[in-house]
């Protein structure tokens, strides 16, 4: 472009409708970029499975605080999904999964400790019985 054409182009006043159309196009491009974040459905399913595993491991009785935290965060993730806030939904789902795994591990550890204590008690009783029979 020569200088005269460029000056004419710069001096043109845009019609208000053209400005609005430009603003709408820019907004549409911006919003479509925001919507490109995929829904974390797989993460929600994984987190839900982790909560179910913690429940079946006895998390309600043996790790109630951690399990409650996982359930609360899972509910928050589902609410965020409903609001289409996928970033927040993923964050809550990941936190729920971590809390659920902690609840499951604590429940299984607690069960193992109880089993070990029961075994030690059985061993002690057996030892006493053997000692009594020897005398």
Handedness of CA 114, 119, 125, 128 (dihedral sign): negative
User: What pLDDT is attached to residue 6?
Assistant: 47
User: What pLDDT is attached to residue 48?
Assistant: 95
User: What pLDDT is attached to residue 99?
Assistant: 96
- Does this model's pTM top 0.85? My answer is no
Q: What phi and psi values does residue 106 have, to the nearest 5 degrees? A: -65, -40
Contacts of 34 (CB under 8 A, 6+ apart): none
* Rg of the chain (C-alpha set): 31
The residue-averaged pLDDT of 1-16 equals 51
Which percentage of the chain shows pLDDT scores above 90? 54
- What DSSP state is assigned to residue 36? T
The answer to whether the CB of 74 falls within 8 A of the CB of 92 is yes
**Mean of the per-residue pLDDT values for the chain?**
82
The string of pLDDT tens digits covering residues 54-67 is 999 999 999 999 99
Helices (H), the chain: 3-11, 16-34, 41-56, 59-62, 64-82, 86-134
């Amino acid at each position: 472009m020569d200088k005269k054409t460029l000056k004419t182009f710069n001096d043109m006043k845009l019609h208000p409708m053209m400005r609005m159309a430009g603003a709408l196009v820019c907004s549409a491009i911006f919003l479509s970029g925001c919507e490109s974040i995929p829904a974390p459905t797989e993460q929600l399913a994984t987190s839900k499975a982790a909560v179910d595993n913690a429940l079946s491991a006895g998390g309600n009785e043996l790790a109630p605080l951690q399990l409650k935290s996982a359930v609360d965060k899972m509910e928050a993730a589902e609410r965020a999904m409903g609001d289409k806030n996928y970033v927040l939904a993923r964050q809550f789902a990941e936190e729920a999964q971590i809390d659920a795994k902690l609840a499951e591990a604590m429940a299984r550890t607690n069960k193992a400790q109880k089993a070990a204590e029961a075994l030690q008690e059985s061993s002690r009783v057996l030892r006493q019985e053997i000692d009594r029979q020897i005398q």
